[in-house]
Amino acid sequence: MHTSHQRRSRGSIGLLFGVSTLLAAGAAQAQDLTGTLAKIKETGAIVIGYRDASVPFSYLDGDQKPVGYAFEICNKVADAVKAHLKLSKLEVKLNPVTSATRIPLIANGTVDLECGSTTNNVDRQKQVSFTNTHFLTATRFVAKKSAKLDKIEDLKGKTVVSTSGTTNIRQINEANTARSLGLTILPAKDHAEAFLMVETGRAVAFVMDDVLLASLAAGSKEPGAYAISSEALSAPEPYGIMLRKDDEPFKKVVDAATAALYKSPEGAALYDKWFTKPIPPRGINLNLPMSEPMKKAFASPSDSADPAAY
């Protein structure tokens, strides 16, 4: 309602801006909901974007149903949104996303929450926003043990694969130029496809977040046949759940919900369920107990994109 007001009086934009901010701040009442919250209330549904193969964050289990650590966090957030809007029923709709489609789909309103393994960085914050960090991971590569590749220099002149649309493919491209490695870099649609290219010998190495590499290797036909590089291409970077940019009221609800979850024992239990216990579909155990920076990130939740903040 204050938008039409704004349009009419062009003269005192400053004053009006102040007034409308006040109005927005005071608009906790249901009628004045804006952005995503209003949309959720109107449609009675929230759309969660999930990934095909971001194990154990968001992936398809044996029955091709999405499951995972980030996926569960999103469901908790959906519950919190439902409580906040005092809805008796909230439908949770699911939409598949890939590394390449996730940002446009958040921006164009198809997906409200993206639950996966999306690195929170400054570049992406120009198009989307992130809630509190749910994981920290560095970029490394996985290769067959028989190939004896451990350092980035070892990849010189070889063909490597990474998933298109990720920060990792960007980092390997940058390293390729900066260190004149002469790599052929193939983009794959998703992590499963990329890992398969190493498995079938189309590429010697797959450059990705180390936690995803560990999960993919553990879930492969011969877990013992793969080794992850000791050298990393980046410092551990934060993962966050994506939401639309410039939607403060919604972000506030999501931030509050995730912060409460991470600080509670429930957060630690959720972490343990996916990282230190057997997970579907094959019952593998990733054995990745919470690191010190991760404990810190849970104790004082933050949505900072800066790796140094953790």
Partner 1 sequence: MFSDFDFKVVLSSLPYVFGTGMVFTVTLTALAATGGIILGTLIAMMRLSGIAVLAWPAKIYVNFMRSLPLVLVIFWFYFLVPYIGQWLTGASRPISVGAFTSALVTFTLFEAAFFSEIMRAGIQSIPKGQTAAAQAIGLSYRQTMATVILPQAFRNMLPLLLTQTIVLFQDTSLVYVISLTDFMGAASKVAQRDGRLVEMYIFAALVYLVICLVASTLVRRLQRRVAIIR
Partner 2 sequence: MNYNWNWRIFFEPSPEGTGTYLDMLLSGLGWTIATALCSWIIAFFLGSVIGVLRTLPSKTANAIGTSYVELFRNIPLLVQMFLWYSVMPEVVPTEWGNWLKQLPNASFYTAVICLGFFTASRVAEQVRAGIESLPRGQRMAGTALGLTTAQTYRYILLPIAYRVILPPMTSEFLNNMKNTSVALTIGLLELTARARSMQEFSSQVFEAFTAATVIYLLISLLVVTLAGRLETRVAVPGSR
Closest to partner 1 by CB, 96 or 307: 96
User: How many CB atoms are closer than 10 A to CB 216?
Assistant: 25
* Phi (first) and psi of residue 237, to 5 degrees: -110, 155
* Residue 168 near partner 2 by CB under 8 A: no
* 20: Cα within 13 Å, side-chain hemisphere: 15
Convert residues 118-157 into a mask of x (bound to partner 2 by CB under 8 A) and - (unbound).
Answer: -----xx-xx------------------------------
**Binding status of residue 184 toward partner 2 by CB under 8 A:** yes
The structure tokens 């446009």 sit at 104
Residues 6+ apart with CB under 8 A from 205: 141, 142, 143, 147, 149, 155, 158, 160, 161, 198, 229
Bond prior to 56 in cis (omega within 30° of 0): yes
Q: What are the phi and psi torsion angles at 9 (to 5°)?
A: -105, 100
Site string for partner 2, 91-110 (x = CB under 8 A): --------xx--xx--x---
Is residue 143 within 8 A of residue 114, CB to CB? The reply is no
Assess 190 for contact with partner 1 (CB under 8 A).
yes
| Among the listed residues 3, 31, 64, 200, the single contact to partner 2 using CB under 8 A | 200
Q: Which is nearer to partner 1, 40 or 183 (CB)?
A: 40
**Does 253 participate in binding partner 2 (rule CB under 8 A)?**
no
Other C-beta atoms closer than 10 Å to the C-beta of 204 total 20
Shortest reach from residue 152's CB to partner 2, in Å? 16
Q: By CB under 8 A, name the one of 159, 234, 276, 291 that touches partner 2.
A: 159
Q: Which residues bind partner 1 (CB under 8 A)?
A: 35, 39, 43, 47, 52-53, 60, 64, 93, 95-98, 101, 104-105, 108-110, 112, 189-190, 192-193, 196, 199-200, 220-221, 281
